[in-house]
Amino acid sequence: MSTTEEKEQTVAENEQEKGGDEQAAEVAPVKPGTWRFLIPIAAFALGFMSHFSLGWVILPPILYAEKQQPIDFSHKLHVDEVGDCEGCHYFREDGSFSGIPELENCAECHEEAMGEDPEEAKLITEYIEPGKEIPWLIYARQPQCVFFSHAAHVKMGEMDCAICHGPIGDSDHVRPYQYNRLTKYSRDIWGWNIAGLSKNGWAYLKQADNSGEIKIEHAARMKMDDCAECHMEKRGVHEACFVCHK
C-alpha cells in the first residue's frame, strides 16, 4: 500500500480511536461481543507507542556519533597566559580568516614543555616533534557549498564571536565533537535536537555561569534558516543565494 493510502487508513484509524471513546459513553449499552472492535484499537495503540518512542528516544542517539578532540585544549588557560585571541584567530591581510591556528602557532611557545600537564606532553611528543598538523575536529565547519565571511560578520557586522560559537573562549575543556553519522556534519551545524529545533549547543558541557559581560547561554545553531533569519532581522533584506553559497 503506497504511503498515501496508508495515511488515509491511519487517519481512519485515528477516527476510530477518538470516535470510539466518546461514542462508548452515551450510546445504548452495546450488546456483548461488540467489544471486539477494541482489538484493532489496542493493536494500533501498541504499534503507535512503540514506534513513537522508537523515533524520539531510541534512534536519535544512534544517529549521532561522538569523537574526542586530539588534545583537551583549555581556552581559559591560554587566554589568561596570552592575553588576547588574535594570537591564534586573526584576519589575514586579504580579509580571509585564519580559523584554527596551525601547528607553528603552538610551536612558537610549546617548543619544549612549559608545565607538567599530560595534554601538553602529548602535544609535544605526538605533534610538535614529528611536525604533524593537529587534526582538530572543527565544531563549526560548514558544508562545502557554503561561503562564510568572518570579515563581513566581525568587522562589518561587529558581531561577537560568542554569538555563534558560544562562550568557547572561557571553556576549560573541549567538549566532545558530535557529528551525524550519515552526513558527517557537526551537530552544532545541523542542530542538537534531532527535529532540527535549535537547542543550546553548549549546554552539554553544563558550563557554570561565567562573569563575562556577554550574557550568552548557548551557541546559536548555524543552519541555513538561522543565518537567513538573522540576516532578515539585522539587514532587513532577503539575501541572494550567492551571498552565502559558492
Partner 1 sequence: MDSASAPFDSALFPEGVKRCKFKWFLFWLAVLHGPLMVGVIAMLMCWGLALHVTYLNNNYPFGLWIAADLGIIALGAGAFFTGFLRYIVNIEELKNIVNYAVVIGVVCYAAAQGILGVDIGQPLRGWFIFWHANVHSMLTEVAFCITCYFMVLCIEYFPLILENRQINKLRFFHGMAHHLHGAMPTIAAVGVFLSFFHQGSLGGVPGVLYGRPFAYREGFLVWPWTFFLFILSAIACGPCFTILVTWITEKCAGKRLVKRNVIDILAKISGRLLVLYLVLKTLDTVYWVAIAGKAGAPLSSFYANQPFGYWVLITELGILGVIPAIILLNAKARQNENILIIACILNCTGIFMNRWIMTVQALAVPVMSFDKFISYRPNWVEYASTLMFVWLGAVVIMLSYRYLPIFPQEKELNPS
Partner 2 sequence: MKLDRRTFIELAVGFSAGAGGGFMLTPVNWKLMDDMTIWSQELWPRYQLGGLKGRLPQQGKVTHADSVCNLCPGGCGITVRKVGDRATKIEGREGYPVNDGGICPLGAAGLQLLYGPWRIPSPLKRIGKRGSGNFEKISWDEAINKVVQKLGNLRQKGQSHTVACILGSDEGTVPRLFDRFLAAYGSPNFIRTASAEDTYELALGLMQGTTGSVGYDLERANFILSFGSGLIEGWGSPVRVIQAHSTWRSGDLKDRATVVQIEPRLSNTAAKADNWYPINPGTEAALALGLAHVIIKESLYNVDFIGKHTFGFEDWSDSSGKTYMGFKRLVRTEYTPEAVSKITGLPAKKILTLARAFAKAKRPVAVWGRGKGTVSGSLYECMAVHALNALTGNINKPGGVSARPQVATRSWPEVERDATAWSGSRRPRIDGAGSNRYPLTRYLPDRWSQVMNGGKAGAIQALLVHGADPYYTTLDSAAVAKAFEAIPFVVSFSTCLDETAYHADLILPNHHYLERWEDIPTPVGLQKPILGMLKPVVSPQFDTRHAGDVLMTIAKSMGGSVASAFPWDDYETLLKETMGDNWGTLEKAGYIVNEGYKPSAWSKAFGTPSGKFEFYITAFDQAGVKIGKDVGYLPHYEPVQPEGNPATYPLILIPTELMRLADGAVGNPPFCTKTLEETELKKNDLFVEVNPKTAADYGLSEGHHAMLETAKGKAKVLVHLFEGIMPGVIGIPKGLGHAAYDDYLAGKGVSANSLIGVVEDPVTGLSAAWGVRAKLTRV
Partner 3 sequence: MFPFAFEWVPEATRYVFMGSLYAVLISLIIILHYCAIRAFLDMICKKDDHNSHH
Q: Which range binds partner 1 by CB under 8 A, 1-9, 28-36, 87-95, 115-123?
A: 1-9
The three grid cell numbers given for residue 222, joined into one nine-digit string: 548555524
Per CB under 8 A, does 61 bind partner 2? no
Q: Which does 6 bind (CB under 5 to 8 A by kind): partner 3, partner 1, partner 2, none?
A: partner 2
- Residue 150's nearest CA partner among 170, 164, 171 is 164
In angstroms, give the least distance from the CB of 108 to partner 1.
Answer: 47
Supply the Cα-derived Rg of the chain in whole angstroms: 26
The three grid cell numbers given for residue 32, joined into one nine-digit string: 456483548
Are 174 and 69 in contact by the 8 Å Cβ rule? The answer is: yes
Q: Which does 215 bind (CB under 5 to 8 A by kind): partner 1, partner 3, partner 2, none?
A: none
Place of cell 531510541: 58
> Residue 239 and residue 95: Cα distance in Å, rounded?
21
Per CB under 8 A, does 232 bind partner 1? no
Are 217 and 210 in contact by the 8 Å Cβ rule? The answer is: no
Nearer CB in complex with partner 3: 12/100: 12
Total site size for partner 2, rule CB under 8 A: 43
Nearer CB in complex with partner 2: 144/211: 144
Helices marked H in 95-240: 103-109, 118-122, 150, 161-165, 187-190, 224-235
Nearer CB in complex with partner 3: 11/58: 11
- Residue 65's nearest CA partner among 205, 180, 229 is 180
Amino acid 172 reads D
Q: Which does 180 bind (CB under 5 to 8 A by kind): partner 2, partner 3, partner 1, none?
A: partner 2
In angstroms, give the least distance from the CB of 226 to partner 3.
Answer: 9
Nearer CB in complex with partner 2: 45/121: 45
Are 201 and 188 in contact by the 8 Å Cβ rule? The answer is: yes
In angstroms, give the least distance from the CB of 26 to partner 2.
Answer: 25
Per CB under 8 A, does 3 bind partner 1? no
Q: Which does 210 bind (CB under 5 to 8 A by kind): partner 1, partner 3, partner 2, none?
A: none
In angstroms, give the least distance from the CB of 228 to partner 3.
Answer: 4
Burial class of 204 by CB neighbour count within 10 A (0 to 12, 13 to 18, 19+): middle
Among 6, 8, 66, 72, the residue binding partner 1 under the rule CB under 8 A is: 8
